Chains A and B, each alone.
Chain A
C-alpha cells in the first residue's frame, strides 16, 4: 500500500490541513505519508509526540543523511555550504549554539527596543505620507524585520531587494529546482564576499563579532545564511497575519490598545494558531524508537505536523478558536528541543512593537480588501500573505 501524499494546503488560514488533523486524531496519532521527494515519512500530529521526538537524541537533524525528509523533489542545497547550527546534532550542536545565542538573549533584545521602535515609526511615517490604499507587506511587514536583522548581522540594507528576492525564492514551492539552487548560490556568494570584507576589517556587528571570536569564516557564512533567511520572512509573515487578525476583531483590538500589557499573550496565541513554519521540524531516526505504540526504525524519516499539534485538543481547549488571552505558551510554533528558534525573542519583541505602535498611531486602520480575499501563501514553505492592502482616515 502506498502512503498518501503529504497535504500542504490549509483548510483556512488558521486551521491545519484536514489531512494533518485526521492523522493527529487517529488512534496512534502517527501515520505514513509520501513526501514530494518520494520518501515515505512518519507524520506526527500530537503535541506530546512532537515534543518527545524533538527532545530525543535518537532523532537527528543531519540534512546530509540520505533519508532526511525533503519537501522538494530535488536534492537539497545543503552541499553549497557547511552545515549550520540547525543541522548539527550533539555534541557538536551545543558549543556552536552557545557561540551565538548570547546575541539573542532576552536582555539583548530589550536593549534593541529603542532602535526597533524608531524603525517602526519611520516606516509608519512613510506609509502615512504615501498613497492609500497601501500594501502593508511592502510598507511595514517586510522592511521592518529585514532592516532589523541587517543591522544586527551587519549586512548592508541597501542590498535588501537582492536578498529578499533570493530568500523568497528559497522558501517558495512555486519555483523550479534550478531557480532555487541559483537563488541559494547567489545568496551564498554575496554573503561570502561580505564575510571576506569583514574578516579584513572587523565591524562591531554579529558577523564581525563571530569572526573576532575566532570562528571559521566558512561556519560564519552558514550562520549568516541561516539568520538572514530566518530573520525576515518569518517575522514579516507573522506581522501581516497578526494585523489582519486583529483588524477583524475590533473589540479585542480595542482591549489591546487600551492595555498593551496584553500584547505578549496575544502574540503567543497568534504564533500558535498560525504556526507559519509548520514543516520546519523534520528529523531522521538513528535508532529504533517507539512513539505512541508505533516503532520508528533507524533510518526512517520523521515529519512533525506542528500546526496540527498546535491545534491538539488534548493540549489546548477549543483549539480552533483564537483566544487572544489564552495564555498558553506550550505551543511548538518556534519548534522544540535544542533547535528551538534562536531568534524567537527578537521576533516577539518586533511583533510587540509593531502591533502596539501601528494600532496606536493609526486607530482608523482597516483592510481595503476583505480578509477572505487576501492572497494567502499556500505556495510557500513558510505561511503568510503576499499582499495586504490597508487604508485609513485622515486624522481629525
Chain B
C-alpha cells in the first residue's frame, strides 16, 4: 500500500506541507521538522494534496512509497 514517508534528517522545516494539507502534516515546535499526522490519505483529494506536498517540499524530505 502506498504511504507518505518523511525523512526528518532532510527536512528543513519550511512548512510548505503544512500549508498544503494541515490534516496530514504538522511541524514540531522544537525544531520545525515535519510531523506526519496521516501517512495514508483517506481519499483522492487527500492524495492529490500529498502529491503536491511531495513536489514542492524544498528539501525533498517527503516521498510516496509502496
Q: A55-B60, A101-B13 are in contact. Are A107 and B55 (CB under 8 A)?
A: no
CB-contact partner of A98 in B13, B52, B56, under 8 A: B13
Is A370 in contact with chain B by the CB < 8 A criterion?
Answer: no
Shortest CB distance B10–A (Å): 8
Please name the residue on chain A nearest to B30 by beta carbon.
A102
Q: Which B1-40 residues sit within 8 Å CB-CB of chain A? A: 9, 12-16, 18-20, 22, 26-33
Please name the residue on chain B nearest to A95 by beta carbon.
B31
Q: Check A340 against B28 for contact (C-beta < 8 Å).
A: no
Q: Check B28 against A338 for contact (C-beta < 8 Å).
A: no
Q: A97-B13, A107-B27, A329-B16 are in contact. Are A102 and B59 (CB under 8 A)?
A: no
Please name the residue on chain B nearest to A93 by beta carbon.
B12
Is B41 in contact with chain A by the CB < 8 A criterion?
Answer: no
Set of chain B residues within 8 Å of A97, measured between Cβ atoms: 12-13
Please name the residue on chain A nearest to B22 by beta carbon.
A106
Is A316 in contact with chain B by the CB < 8 A criterion?
Answer: no
Q: Check B12 against A94 for contact (C-beta < 8 Å).
A: yes
Q: A55-B60, A107-B27, A336-B58 are in contact. Are A345 and B33 (CB under 8 A)?
A: no
Q: Check B29 against A340 for contact (C-beta < 8 Å).
A: no
Set of chain B residues within 8 Å of A335, measured between Cβ atoms: 58
Q: Check A98 against B58 for contact (C-beta < 8 Å).
A: no
Please name the residue on chain B nearest to A335 by beta carbon.
B58
Set of chain A residues within 8 Å of B9, measured between Cβ atoms: 94
Residues of A that sit less than 8 Å from B by CB: 54-55, 94, 97-99, 101-102, 104-108, 264, 329-330, 334-338, 340-341, 344-345, 348
Residues of B that sit less than 8 Å from A by CB: 9, 12-16, 18-20, 22, 26-33, 52, 55-56, 58-60
